Structure 1
Amino acid sequence: MLSQLWVAVALAVSANALFDKNLAYRSPFIGYEDFSVNTRALEKRHIEHVKRQSLPEIPDTEAAASFDDEHYPTFYGGDFSNSAWVRNDGLNFTHAVASGDPFDDSVLLWTRAVPLESGSNVPDVSIPVCVSFKIFDNPKLSGKPIDSGEAFTSFDVDFTVKVEAEHLKADTHYWYQFADCTNPNTTSPIGATRTISSPDTPANQVNGGKPLTLAVFSCSQFQNGWFNAYGIAAHNTSADIFVHLGDYIYESLGNGAKIGRKVEGRELATVFDYRQRLGQYRTDPGLIDAHLAGPWITVWVCDDHEVADQSWKAGTANSNDTTIGCNFSASGACFTDRKLAGVRAYHEWMPIRQVDVNDKLRIWRNFQIGKLLDLTMLDTRQYDRDITDLYFNTGKSITPSINFAHLHELSSCQSNRSLMGPQQEAWFYSQLSQSKERGAIWRVVGQQIVFTQLDEEGAFDVDAWDGYRANRNRVLDHIHDNQINNVLILSGDSHANWVSDLAHPNDTVNYDPVTGDGSFAVEFAGTAVSSGSAFGNGISPANANKISDVLVAAPLNRDLQWSEASFRGFFTLTLDTEKANATYWAMSNTSFANLDGFPSAQFIVQKDANKLQRPVAGGVVRAGVLKSSVNATNTTSATP
């Protein structure tokens, strides 16, 4: 009788730890039981099941109160085959593995472990799944693991597992694998990951002295194309870290009939909906390979479609928290309900750390990667953003296209409008200044929307920074007035490629677009992984270039140096102590899974130059239009 008692009490102690080891339970609403998964309640549910299986009751004895077993799985000698307290009917690692948010001594590891169906019987939800993990310093997983552990998962978090691998060396590559605690022979695929350099590492020693490469993505729409950009980045580049700038999923429907990519479910509203959509997206082979290849750094609900289109701090284009807003949404849900559901599912499915749940679900954060760079990730969509273009307030169609006549310029009375909110904005300026003070060479800013002014045939996209001009001027003023060099702004959202020097908009005195003199930062804006072109879905390179010809020549687009909007793709940013190299990749065909693509353009920024090196892109690109070529013989090519 006493031995049975010890088993039950040992389980009570360590089941708690095993639930909490899985960070998917604890984020993004840790401490808020009304919104998050209450692991104490799960523990109680689990213990009640154990009591039903083993003891009629647990007497209140001194032995029960004093017993402590810190490592529950090995209480059974690692043999769970006859254990009634964890599922032992087999697991399926349905979505491979992933890693993210690397620090200099730890990294998050992720998988999904779904119990195999046992005939027609409905599984007992009170029984958790136990998953183990090990991380090694070699791809063969030989020798002693650097870190290892076990964690519970259950239907409460969609059987996702997110753990933190600790005690790692800085600037080091690692390989990891998950397994079924009850059957170690059931394993996940092996994933590769890495840590970043410690903040005080000299710039010339970061990444072992080799250039560091970021692969940068945005806007992957399942029904519109296969995610080949992710696969090419994983297989054909030397990407060290994968950076995603938003629209990792889309909330809308689409049958994808032409390419066999029908979206499951409905327009997203509930936790189930968002989980289902994330799960479907994560079946794409290119995305699987990219998550296997290295760590990701993302911003959750970072653009709008992770929740819903054209989102801001209090609503979206088709949902807000008024009675009418809840009714006219195609999802049938209010904005706050959708946001909480989307955020929860995103945290379950993505290897991302929780920052501060008490600060409006803050996710903006900074990564100090030695003295080579600071990577600052902003939230320019959800966190305290003032109202944006919701179509009905600007007269636009709910499905905007290249019809720029539908875009309306925002009035100049917007000095108090904020894209980031005052707290994040102040933090951002502080990060830029501190990065300079600590001696980092590069300041790379990951955010969602196009920063430079874009005159689109007499109109401006007020959903981008053009709708928040006073805020943009404050950013530019801080960079310029404090002489903060080597600022590179990364942008997504627009479904087109744009590369620009950055000066104050319309500056005809200090900035020279021919030489780049007067520029004090650079923007690299990338196109979509698969979402339709801003110039018209499926537009040919030749027709897209006709539009780009007009845009790069527009007098108000003085900063804009390259425009391309036909090809889907991504870009890499490679940094060393002397220069930054942005290489844009174009996908040859996204109608089926393949690795056919080509580098379409390459841009260099020399250290402390704060402008694109001339001639821009070496004077020749393989797609799109350079400003320098508009009034000269067109040397660009529309095909590879």
Structure 2
Amino acid sequence: MSAFILDRRAAVGAMLSFGLLSGCASATGRRHFFSRDPFGLGVAAGDPAPDGFVIWTRLAPDPMADDGGMPAFAIPLGWELAADPQFRTIVQSGTAEALPDNAHAVHVELAGLRPHRPYWYRFHAPGGAVSEIGCARTLPPPGAQVERIRIASVGCQDYESGFYTAFAHLAREEAIDAVFHYGDYIYEFGRRAKNPLRRHVGPETMTLADYRRRYAQYKADPDLRAAHAAAAFIPSFDDHEVDDNWAARHGKDGDPLRFAARKAAALKAWYEHMPVRAALRPGTATRYFRRFDFGDLVRMHVLDTRSHRSDQLCEPRRDGCRPAYDPARTMLGDGQERWLGNGLSGGSRWNFIAQQVQMMPFDVRRDGAQQAVRSTDNWNGYPHARQRIIDLIAQRRLTNVVVGSGDMHQHVVGSIPRNPDDPESPAIASEFLASSISSGGSGSPRHSFQQDALRHNPNVALLANQRGYQVYDVSRAHWNASIAVIDQVDHPGGRKTDLARFVVEHERPGPLRA
């Protein structure tokens, strides 16, 4: 049976009953309603501001089909925003066009709302289909004195490596102001032989249809849907949304023209499936780094560590390769470095540098090895670029910088030292690297081959090879971090515990066990 039924009179009547019909609903004048739930990918909110945020959904009654089971014309979609979860007080409502050129996804940029409070939203499709209800909070007013906010940090959710139970627990966390997703929302690989319980549909993603299908498979997961419905996300991307370890114009297959087409498809699909503003629609001048102010308490600088970086050296690692680090090499590009420097002088109580890959110096040698080994894909492979950030913090005499990161599939808590070549030198900033949601499988307290890792990394206070997420409860005097771990992701229903708690004092960089 077709995923949709064309019946203009029935659909128009249903839309009138919701007050959804508008003069610009569809250029073709065609209407339809659905024989299957068109909201199987859930709802989401993101990129909050003091007066609003983005609300998102995608119509896809047959998510694994190339077209999502949708017709090749625009569908008018109604939305409602309420001041209460029962929708007794409707604050705003309207219509949006779900266009085939955007995979029938909609991004509604709400404005005119009250600051620092929750709102509830939902969507209506022709024929009476209603989405689940989502909730999101607006940011505090600019410059307002704020006493407390809560931010979660998540990422790395390889579908084949395990279940998304961590997202189910995150959805139950209290009063989360925003969720920072550091990236690796999807993985581009085709089917692998790891986990027979969950399989990627289709081959390695190369085309727009491939990426759309992969996002649909991931977003249909009920635990991920629950997390999106519970709080506003601030998403960024790392490498697997495009291609493993990509850097600017460089992909892993060595063909620049082929990679350019692949990256364009990947970033379009990322935009289509993320609750972000139209300013992040991909184009030649799109700037993915952006800033969020939580009143005067936290200034959040969301970086893009992929689009502007120099290519990695000795990546993949090769025996005998010795990286030669030219000072001109960059992780952020000149423009983003200047932007970050300007933003760090904003006068907020805390500066949160939210980005994708580890910044602190870290020796990844295996037990028994005599020589230090450092990744060339994170900031350890861009030492001069990292030093420029460190010097900037030192010159401004900032004691309030916290770095958030991911990518490593482990929880890592530690300090960024003033001299990265001497990890025991004084801390210039704190770093909280959140573990993966599922990537790496269930894990263990420590990699079997890395029992001595803390001895080689004196700036690191915690290293845990377990899945989970982190929550930052921020006050004016303290940055409190809870490290959540899930006991297993091989089956649904994993249990969550708080492995550890850390605190950073406002005038004293470096995390302390609470």
Asked if 2 retains the 8 angstrom alpha-carbon contact of 1:99 and 1:107, the reply is: yes
Q: Deviations over 1:472-499 (max 9, x none)?
A: 0000000011102210000111111211
SS at structure 2 position matched to 1:391: coil
- Out of 148, 151, 156, the residue aligned to residue 93 of structure 2 is 148
**Separation in 1 of the partners of 2:390 and 2:383?**
10
Pick closer, same or farther for the CA change 1:451–1:76 going to 2, 3 Å. closer
Pick closer, same or farther for the CA change 1:610–1:126 going to 2, 3 Å. closer
**Separation in 2 of the partners of 1:238 and 1:525?**
22
**Separation in 2 of the partners of 1:89 and 1:582?**
47
Pick closer, same or farther for the CA change 1:496–1:124 going to 2, 3 Å. closer
TM-superposed CA distance for 1:539, in Å, is 5.0
Asked if 2 retains the 8 angstrom alpha-carbon contact of 1:147 and 1:167, the reply is: no
- Out of 441, 452, 463, the residue aligned to residue 563 of structure 1 is 463
**Separation in 2 of the partners of 1:594 and 1:408?**
44
Which residues of structure 1 form unaligned runs of 5+? 1-52, 54-72, 205-210, 323-333, 396-405, 619-640
Alignment-derived partner of residue 141 in structure 2? 198
Matched, 1:342 2:266: yes
**Separation in 1 of the partners of 2:62 and 2:444?**
46
Alignment-derived partner of residue 84 in structure 2? 138
SS at structure 1 position matched to 2:263: helix
Asked if 1 retains the 8 angstrom alpha-carbon contact of 2:341 and 2:392, the reply is: yes
Alignment-derived partner of residue 232 in structure 1? 169
- Out of 390, 402, 406, the residue aligned to residue 476 of structure 1 is 390
The number of residue pairs the alignment matches comes to 484
Q: Max radius of gyration: which structure?
A: 1
Alignment-derived partner of residue 243 in structure 2? 308
Matched, 1:368 2:293: yes
Pick closer, same or farther for the CA change 1:79–1:449 going to 2, 3 Å. closer
SS at structure 2 position matched to 1:474: helix
Alignment-derived partner of residue 50 in structure 2? 104
- Out of 414, 424, 427, the residue aligned to residue 500 of structure 1 is 414
**Separation in 1 of the partners of 2:388 and 2:123?**
47
TM-superposed CA distance for 1:271, in Å, is 0.6
**Separation in 2 of the partners of 1:390 and 1:531?**
24
Alignment-derived partner of residue 586 in structure 1? 485
Matched, 1:527 2:429: no
Q: Which has the higher contact order (CA 8 A, sep 6+)?
A: 2
Alignment-derived partner of residue 114 in structure 2? 169
TM-score (structure 1 length as normaliser): 0.71
Alignment-derived partner of residue 327 in structure 1? none
SS at structure 2 position matched to 1:410: coil
Alignment-derived partner of residue 368 in structure 2? none
Pick closer, same or farther for the CA change 1:76–1:349 going to 2, 3 Å. closer
| Identity across the alignment (%) | 27
One-letter identity of the residue aligned with 2:499: S
Alignment-derived partner of residue 553 in structure 1? 455
One-letter identity of the residue aligned with 1:441: R
Asked if 1 retains the 8 angstrom alpha-carbon contact of 2:46 and 2:53, the reply is: yes
TM-score (structure 2 length as normaliser): 0.88
In the TM superposition, what are the counterparts of 1:173-322 in structure 2 within 5 Å? Answer: 173-180=118-125, 182-183=126-127, 185-204=128-147, 211-255=148-192, 258-299=195-236, 302-321=237-256
SS at structure 2 position matched to 1:601: strand
Asked if 2 retains the 8 angstrom alpha-carbon contact of 1:407 and 1:461, the reply is: no
Asked if 2 retains the 8 angstrom alpha-carbon contact of 1:552 and 1:560, the reply is: yes
Pick closer, same or farther for the CA change 1:442–1:529 going to 2, 3 Å. same
Matched, 1:597 2:493: no
Alignment-derived partner of residue 369 in structure 2? none
**Separation in 1 of the partners of 2:119 and 2:321?**
50
Alignment-derived partner of residue 128 in structure 1? 74
**Separation in 2 of the partners of 1:123 and 1:297?**
29
Pick closer, same or farther for the CA change 1:233–1:115 going to 2, 3 Å. closer
One-letter identity of the residue aligned with 2:310: D
Greater strand proportion? 2
One-letter identity of the residue aligned with 2:105: T
SS at structure 1 position matched to 2:377: coil
One-letter identity of the residue aligned with 1:167: G
SS at structure 2 position matched to 1:611: strand
SS at structure 2 position matched to 1:346: helix
Pick closer, same or farther for the CA change 1:389–1:320 going to 2, 3 Å. farther
TM-superposed CA distance for 1:203, in Å, is 2.6
TM-superposed CA distance for 1:298, in Å, is 1.0
One-letter identity of the residue aligned with 2:56: W
Matched, 1:410 2:323: yes
Asked if 1 retains the 8 angstrom alpha-carbon contact of 2:160 and 2:195, the reply is: no
Which residues of structure 2 form unaligned runs of 5+? 1-7, 9-14, 366-371
TM-superposed CA distance for 1:428, in Å, is 0.7
Greater helix proportion? 1
